[in-house]
Amino acid sequence: MALEQLLKKNKEVLLFYCVESELLARKIAHLSDSIKLQSINWRSFDDGFPNLFINNAQDIRGQHVAFLASFSSPSVIFEQLSVIFALPRLFVASFTLVLPFFPTGSFERMEEEGDVATAFTMARILSNIPISRGGPTSLVIYDIHALQERFYFGDHVLPCFETGIPLLKQRLHQLPDAENISIAFPDDGAWKRFYKQLQHFPMIVCNKVREGDKRIVRLKEGNPAARHIVIVDDLVQSGGTLIECQKVLAAHGATKVSAYVTHAVFPEQSWQRFLHNGEEKAFSYFWITDSCPLTVKAIENKAPFEVLSLAGSIAEALQI
């Protein structure tokens, strides 16, 4: 069986991509001779609505086709959806949508009547991607916010949930203090999401408690004393919780504190709160992936940030 796998020829995949994801797409293609980049003319009419053209549309008939998306804001989603719904109809052998960051994932529940669970709305939209000649669309997503969201998708798509944690583990093993690392989770939700993938590290769990109008981060279990603590979560927005966790861990004796998130959303340039300023270095490292291309561009060469690219993982997923 192993020999068969070695002899098995990788399928050739034609990879289209949105404007934001060009750098990541080029990294993916660079890692695999089986992935060929394709292009789309992303234009707009005078009224602002998309004027799109898929180049070499006839040449992709009978080919395995993929699209690398980035739903960074509502303003870019419609034009990408237009392409996503068009590609499977071009008589392609199969269609794969790679959406590294599922942006509405944190809005998956209703707390009172009238709340709109936009995670379900987005899943319903993607579930209606036309079926290609090869069957339902394969949908590749990394570290979706809530695992139960896999059940939001209908039968016209086959969700493939991947994770960036192997990239983090590989990087941690390269550190000079690799034997002195403990993993911290900012809340029980992050622990449930990731603890099985990080079981060989000592673990620390924090939680958020309400005191009046404030939410205070407290140490729930574990001992950070004299350890390099890496806080792990799926995404970061303003970064307030990570900062409060760092303070609590440092107060309990952590010698270093670093952080990892798969999705560095950072609205309104909130990443600036984490920059090293003079002697103040609250976070030794802050690892992110390139699931949010606009953030990657903004933090380039800025300590403590370091990008762990999903390119290799996506290249492998495209061969499934």
Give 4 or 198, the one with higher predicted confidence: 198
Per-residue pLDDT, 8: 56
The kind and range of the H/E element at 59 are: none
Lowest mean pLDDT among 88-92, 101-105, 192-196, 217-221: 101-105
Q: What percent of the chain has pLDDT over 90?
A: 84
The pLDDT tens digits of the residues spanning 262-295 come to 999 999 999 999 999 866 789 999 999 999 999 9
Per-residue pLDDT, 115: 87
pLDDT bracket for residue 60 (50, 70, 90): very high
Residue 295 near residue 264, CB atoms below 8 Å: yes
The pLDDT tens digits of the residues spanning 147-180 come to 778 889 999 899 999 999 999 999 999 999 999 9
> How many Cα atoms sit within 13 Å of 116 on the Cβ side?
4
Per-residue pLDDT, 112: 82
Cα separation, 133 vs 88, in Å, equals 8
